[in-house]
A and B are shown apart, each in its own frame.
Chain A
Amino acid sequence: GDSVTQMEGPVTLSEEAFLTINCTYTATGYPSLFWYVQYPGEGLQLLLKATKADDKGSNKGFEATYRKETTSFHLEKGSVQVSDSAVYFCALSSGEYSSASKIIFGSGTRLSIRP
């Protein structure tokens, strides 16, 4: 079945460092891909998404490109801040995303940024 694999954490970086969190997926068809973020004490929030190959999702300085050839959707940010400390989840939605589509999550990567 469909699945998502992301790098294990925790990841600890200094402020202003470059961030990459790897994510690869296995899916039949053409899934939509997502990155969700969970800040301490809060619910998951959609960070960015891409719905087709070569699409780039971006938000709050974060970017991820849908790479069909490598089945990857790596999350990157050029200069992280302390406020980016959170748990990041890579996810996919099988087939065309609709109001009833199932979302499959990776295991999450905890990111901690040192001042």
Chain B
Amino acid sequence: GAVVSQHPSRVICKSGTSVKIECRSLDFQATTMFWYRQFPKKSLMLMATSNEGSKATYEQGVEKDKFLINHASLTLSTLTVTSAHPEDSSFYICSARENYKEFFGPGTRLTVL
């Protein structure tokens, strides 16, 4: 089946730095990708919809200047957490759809010290 990868799987950074997370669809093209955030023992929260070649659509309450999304090609979307702070520590998950089936990446654990 279709595979979605994320890189890195785990990152630890200092407060104030920026972190980029990549999401790739490995064997299919995805015009739309989704970025989620998962808090401990909580559900996945949709952060934004990433659209190839155009601006991302952010959910209410998500700061677009803090969470920069770039969907530069049909197989790659990136999420950059700018000026990260400890409260940004979380599990970030991306997904992409092929033929109306959604495929999730394995997630990226971000820890901000």
In angstroms, Cα B1 to Cα A15, docked, is: 29
Return the contact of A102 from the options B42, B49, B101 (Cβ within 8 A): B49
Residues 1-29 of B at the A interface (beta carbon under 8 Å): 4
Main secondary structure of the interface of A (DSSP, over half): loop
A104 touches B46 (CB 8 A): yes
Please, which residues of chain B bring their CB within 8 A of the CB of A45? 104
Interface residues of A in 3-49 (CB under 8 A from B): 4, 36, 41-46
A73 an interface residue at 8 Å Cβ cutoff? no
| Bound-complex Cα distance A107 to B44 (A) | 7
Instruction: Count A-B pairs with CB separation below 8 Å.
Output: 46
Decide if A105 touches B107 in the complex (CB within 8 Å): no
Query: How many angstroms between the C-alpha atoms of A67 and B78 in the bound complex?
Result: 38
The reply to whether A43 and B46 form a contact with Cβ atoms under 8 Å apart is no
Contacting residues, chain A, for B106 (C-beta < 8 A): 41-43
In contact, A89 and B93 (Cβ under 8 angstroms): no
Question: Using an 8 Å CB-CB cutoff, how does the interface string of B77-111 with A read, 1 for contact, 0 for none?
Answer: 00000000000000001010100111111110000
Interface residues in A30-87 (C-beta closer than 8 Å to B): 36, 41-46
A108: B residues at CB distance < 8 A: 41-43
- Distance in Å: Cβ of B100 to nearest Cβ of chain A: 6
User: Is there an interface contact between B49 and A103, defined as CB atoms closer than 8 Å?
Assistant: no
Interface string of B43-66 (1 = CB under 8 A from A): 111100100000000000000000
In the complex, chain A residues whose CB is within 8 Å of the CB of B101: 46
Given contacts A98-B100, A99-B31, A107-B41, 19 further A-B contacts (CB under 8 A): A4-B43, A36-B104, A41-B106, A43-B93, A43-B106, A44-B95, A46-B102, A89-B43, A89-B44, A99-B32, A99-B100, A100-B32, A102-B34, A103-B34, A103-B46, A103-B102, A105-B43, A105-B45, A108-B43
What are some 18 contacts across the A-B interface (CB < 8 A)? A43-B4, A43-B93, A43-B103, A44-B95, A46-B101, A89-B43, A98-B100, A99-B31, A99-B100, A100-B32, A100-B49, A102-B49, A103-B34, A104-B46, A107-B41, A107-B42, A107-B43, A108-B43
* Residues of B that sit less than 8 Å from A by CB: 4, 31-32, 34, 36, 41-46, 49, 93, 95, 97, 100-107
